[in-house]
A and B are shown apart, each in its own frame.
Chain A
Amino acid sequence: MWDAFDILLQANFWAATIRIATPLIFGVLGALLCERAGVLNLGIEGIFVAGAMSGWLAVYLGLPLWGGVLMAALVGALFGLIHGVLTVPLGLSQHVTGIGVTLLATSVAYFGYRVAFPNVGTPPRIEPFPPLDVPVLGDLPFIGTILSQQSAFTVLAFICVGLVAFVLARTPLGLAIRAVGDNPEAVEAQGLSVVGLRIGAVMAGSALMALGGAFLTLSAFNAFYFGMINGRGWVCIALTVFASWRPGKALIGALLFGALDAYQLRLQTITGGAVPSQIFLMLPYIFSIAALVLVARRADYPRALMKPYFKGQR
């Protein structure tokens, strides 16, 4: 059984952990930004798909890699705008609208892909983000191996954690976002726009979600596949509760999830088919549900989450 423990000592394992966690970091950050402002965004799964597809397509059509990243963010923000307008000023059910946005974003991405490539068997490829080339650190034995398997896109994810944490905790904008998710009346009484803040937060959060998708096609892989998101968005919603809406904990949650996923992938090869592979593939989903159930009772939901607000109604 030493093999099972040995996994933890492999640099490759830790490299995979970070690679698996990176899209989730973006996703959880995006979801928590929306929810901190009081809006549940179940459009996340579809926005992941749309981000993966649009970012990749932009690069395929000739944009530089960072141009693809920007394109994905814009597309994400656009779907965020749709979700925001329907749920904030119109006050429609955030659950059903979110599902609708997921259906829309997914079908737009798939349809767009089929329009662009009507009859291709193997998906066309792009040149993805190159591995990091870090001086000094990159030459270290263990850490160097881990770093050499990451890209600048991963670094962006870590920067975003700090950025979102800073904005929420230290800036007037973050103050307003936290307030609007707790008591929109307080925000309006201070002369700020509830609708503007919420739509803005949902757009920014959706842009982050789309980056999570784009990471898959621009860095982790080099092509767009149908079904490649495969529930990652939903996992992020669960992890957001687990992270109790804090960027730091979101990072920890995503890394923990990445580690579990990377571990089960390696365990799968060790057991060599004695256990059906599906059992291992189920583990991440089961882990997400377990995490949600464990923290649900203590979870400190933003007070105004999922409660529509109409001006002048009290």
Chain B
Amino acid sequence: MIRFIPRERTPVWLTVAVPVGAGLVALLLTSIPLMLAGAPVLEALVLMAKGAAGNGFALAETLTRATPLIFTGLAAAVAFRAKLWNIGAEGQLYAGALATVAVGAGLIEAPAYVLVPLVLIAAALAGAALLLVPVLFKTRFGADEVVVTLLMNFIVLLFVQMMLEGPMKDEMGMGWPQSAPVLDEATLPKLVMGLRLHWGLVLAVLAASGLHVFINRTVWGFRIRAVGENARAARYAGLPVGKAMALVGLISGGLAGLAGASEVAGLKGYLTSDLSPGFGYAGIVVATLANLSPLGVIPSAIFIAGVFVGADSMSRAIGVSNYLADLVVAFSLLSVLVGGLLTRFRIRFVRRETA
């Protein structure tokens, strides 16, 4: 029989060991399907590691891929802290991307120091506005935000496709459903010449640090934590529960919107309807791996990004499907959930005796 004994405090080393262990367990679990697929397990895993961080280029590619994941991971982390189950970061990302193109692809002509902030603000607002709808449905009508945000992902993607085939279609795009490119003044500059790494990463790290301070050091951060842990008691104590929820919605949606801006203005330059290979959903994994800590989101996003980049490179080398990355991600999520029990409880195995 297993007994869970609640811990009064979690040792610091465990908060690091659990996600790291979960990642390792996930890789271990992934070797089962690899074996079943008849692939060379060890070689595949080594190739993945090399592909993710084997050299400067690989590392830069991983960091590039981590950038949107930091944003969506933060979006999930702040929302889940308040028990707002925002599973709609994917849609909010596209809303942000759409706003980026709408503002940055010729609507306004301005120098970069005006246009870049403008584009970022527009993207954040678009993402925030999108999440405000399910938050209102939740607080006003009691409609479960999980289903609403999930379904809105599909609506937004259809909307993006509609815009790309219609009003926002690039005249120069040779018939492809893609948007006009953002202006040079709206583009996030590259960090290093010759690499795809861009200033979005710096913004993402700044956002993580800012969110860390906000959650832990400010009055509103305190209120959000209180509402998330026990909304009833927060209401009893006179805390503005509805406002705190709305604020969380704005922040979470805004961060997801920034992920879209960063991808369009920093990496792709224009919008297509396959901009995100599920960054929104992967953000949930990133946040959970980070135990919803904003600073923890950075390493966990890098890990998940490394899995994707490594799997791509491994797949090219030995022909094992890169869906392997999704397997690692899924296993990571479930492992860290189970591992999280270790941080909250002492696990005791007791023999079940008969009295």
In the complex, whether B143 has a CB less than 8 A from a CB of chain A is yes
Interface of A is mostly: helix
A271 to chain B, nearest CB (A): 14
In the complex, whether B329 has a CB less than 8 A from a CB of chain A is yes
Q: Are A289 and B146 in contact (CB under 8 A)?
A: no
Q: Are B334 and A111 in contact (CB under 8 A)?
A: no
In the complex, whether B205 has a CB less than 8 A from a CB of chain A is no
A118 to chain B, nearest CB (A): 7
In the complex, whether A282 has a CB less than 8 A from a CB of chain B is yes
Instruction: Mark out the residues of chain A between 229 and 254 whose CB falls within 8 Å of any chain B CB in the assembled complex.
Output: 230-231, 234-235, 237-238, 241
With contacts A103-B281, A279-B162, A282-B155 known, is A90 near B341, CB below 8 A? yes
Q: Are A114 and B321 in contact (CB under 8 A)?
A: yes
Interface string of B321-339 (1 = CB under 8 A from A): 1011011011101100110
Q: Are A296 and B141 in contact (CB under 8 A)?
A: yes
Considering only CB atoms, which chain A residue lies closest to B143 in the complex?
A296
In the complex, whether B87 has a CB less than 8 A from a CB of chain A is yes
Instruction: Mark out the residues of chain A between 255 and 283 whose CB falls within 8 Å of any chain B CB in the assembled complex.
Output: 276, 278-279, 281-282
| CA–CA, A243 and B329, complex, Å | 34
Which residues of A lie under 8 Å from residue B155 when comparing CB positions?
282, 285-286
Interface of B is mostly: helix
In the complex, whether B176 has a CB less than 8 A from a CB of chain A is no
| CA–CA, A218 and B341, complex, Å | 41
In the complex, whether A10 has a CB less than 8 A from a CB of chain B is no
What bracket does the count of chain B residues touching chain A fall in? 35 or more
Q: Are A99 and B87 in contact (CB under 8 A)?
A: yes
Considering only CB atoms, which chain A residue lies closest to B287 in the complex?
A96
| CA–CA, A114 and B319, complex, Å | 10
Considering only CB atoms, which chain A residue lies closest to B161 in the complex?
A278
In the complex, whether A81 has a CB less than 8 A from a CB of chain B is no
In the complex, whether B285 has a CB less than 8 A from a CB of chain A is yes
Q: Are B142 and A310 in contact (CB under 8 A)?
A: no
Question: How many residues on A have C-beta within 8 angstroms of the other chain's C-beta atoms?
Answer: 45
With contacts A107-B330, A286-B155 known, is A42 near B146, CB below 8 A? yes
Q: Are B333 and A99 in contact (CB under 8 A)?
A: yes
| CA–CA, A289 and B134, complex, Å | 9
Of the candidates B152, B326, B329, B337, the one whose C-beta lies within 8 Å of that of A289 is B152
In the complex, whether A211 has a CB less than 8 A from a CB of chain B is no
Known pairs A110-B323, A293-B148; list 13 more (Cβ under 8 Å): A82-B334, A95-B146, A96-B333, A100-B333, A100-B337, A111-B326, A115-B37, A118-B321, A278-B158, A278-B159, A285-B154, A296-B142, A299-B142
- Top 10 A-B pairs ranked by shortest CB distance? A114-B321, A107-B326, A104-B330, A103-B330, A278-B162, A296-B143, A111-B323, A100-B333, A278-B158, A115-B37
A interface residues with partner B (beta carbon < 8 Å): 42, 82, 86, 90, 92-93, 95-97, 99-101, 103-104, 106-108, 110-112, 114-115, 118, 230-231, 234-235, 237-238, 241, 276, 278-279, 281-282, 285-286, 288-289, 292-293, 296-297, 299, 310
5 A/B residue pairs, CB under 8 Å, sorted by A = A96-B80, A110-B326, A278-B159, A282-B155, A296-B142
